Amino acid sequence: MLDFLNNVIVASIIKSAIIIVVLLTAFAYLTLIERRVLAKLQGRLGPNRTGPFGAFQPIADGVKMAFKEQFIPGNAKKFVFVIAPIISTVVALSAFAVVPLGRGWIIGKPTVWDPWIADINVGILWILSISSLAVYGIVLGGWASGNRYSLLGALRSAAQMVSYETSLGLALSGVLMWSGSLSMIDIVNSQSSLHAWYILVQPLGFMIYVVAACAEVNRAPFDLPEAEQELTAGYLTEYSGLRWSLYQMSEYINMITASSIAATLFFGGWTLFGLENIPVVSILIYLVKVAFFLFIFIWVRATLPRIRYDRLMRLGWQVLLPLAALNVIITAIVVALHWPWVINTAADVVVIAIIFFVIRQRSFTEGTRFTEKAGQAATMMPTSVRLAKFESVTVPAVEPVVEEQEQDTSVRV
């Protein structure tokens, strides 16, 4: 029996099932946590009636979604319409396969039951390649709906995800050059050997990764594919019930994966001042770091408004991509010349300071402010907007007509 459980394939299947159950449960209660945190930040109470502290609210939402009507539009491509949400969910779950949840149970002796599904030598490449397939679920769902609003939302998502994937990959290149490996576990171990987390070595790369990850998982302020004010919910317009829930599930699981990558690559994974030598404590350390980044996602959603689409694309191609390429050049020079990592940190800090100086002088969101010039307000408008000018019409003043009081012609008796 023990030999059967020590089989690599059997252990991988069991661990995969456990991870899937944990991710689905985390998705359900992350929706509750997000609603409560948003309510707290906005001065509301949030869901707190279903069960103690609203703990049964995700169960009630799941039952409600299961009994909702799931209709298929008459103009839809039925097979693709049904399969598209499943593609997004499978891709989101598959990307988590190489993420380590903690240190191995025995130091220096890997076992088949260590807290990760697989440790492959191209772990980061696996995550990037699988995550890039998520766009297919959204594009196919929008196209198969037979709705122009859905198609526009899908096209927005495709352009957005392709634009920010490049910057995200380049942001991680600095970490890969310092660690010399694509394995997630080797990257964590390299941070322990360096006695510094890569957030200190690559602050510019971390900043680029955070912005690009928000755009990659379609979270606010980059949730343009779901622009309900413009496209009536975008690619989700024709979806309802459990099919709609699958899309939401994939978004939240992708958010957990993005938080896990940030915690592993930039914040040392399960390491924290030597406490990681206790295997169970190492898993708790990892979970706390992931929870911190999930809170950042929620906090940003409650704070920043949705930006305009042309500014979204300009930020990706004209700002993040040049900065990511500059970070790769700086890191390559420092690593090739065997300089200490402090030099890389200093160069990144200088670049970040210049960025904030430029933001102060000329905001990347140019056109959202009113500037007073010559006593009148002038608003910067995009080039696609043309304002119509009308000549003012002078209306002649009309003199008020004063009614004369009627004379009293009555005769006194």
In whole numbers, what is the pLDDT of the chain averaged over residues?
85
Phi, psi of 351 (to 5 degrees): -65, -40
CB of 205 within 8 A of CB of 344? Answer: no
Torsion angle in degrees (nearest 10) through CA of 253, 255, 260, 262: 160
Q: What is the DSSP string of 200-259?
A: HH-HHHHHHHHHHHHHHTT-TTS-GGG-HHHHTTGGGTT--HHHHHHHHHHHHHHHHHHH
Per-residue pLDDT at 110? 79
324: tokens are: 């990511």
Per-residue pLDDT at 374? 45
pLDDT at 377 over 50: no
Per-residue pLDDT at 398? 63
CB of 260 within 8 A of CB of 290? Answer: yes
pLDDT at 350 over 90: yes
The residues pairing with 370 across neighbouring beta strands, listed in sequence order, are: 379
pLDDT at 383 over 80: no
Can the peptide bond before residue 100 be classed as cis, meaning omega within 30 degrees of 0? no
What are the tens digits of pLDDT across the range 119-160? 888 889 999 999 888 889 989 998 998 888 888 888 888 888
Question: For the chain, what are the domain ranges?
Answer: 73-361
> Confidence band (pLDDT; 50, 70, 90) for 370?
very low
Q: Whole-angstrom Cα distance, residue 88 to residue 161?
A: 14
What are the tens digits of pLDDT across the range 2-34? 677 778 888 889 999 999 999 999 999 999 999
Q: With pLDDT > 70 as the criterion, what percentage of the chain qualifies?
A: 85
Q: Whole-angstrom Cα distance, residue 340 to residue 322?
A: 24
What are the tens digits of pLDDT across the range 207-246? 999 999 999 888 888 887 776 666 676 788 888 888 989 9
Per-residue pLDDT at 278? 80
Give this prediction's pTM.
Answer: 0.84
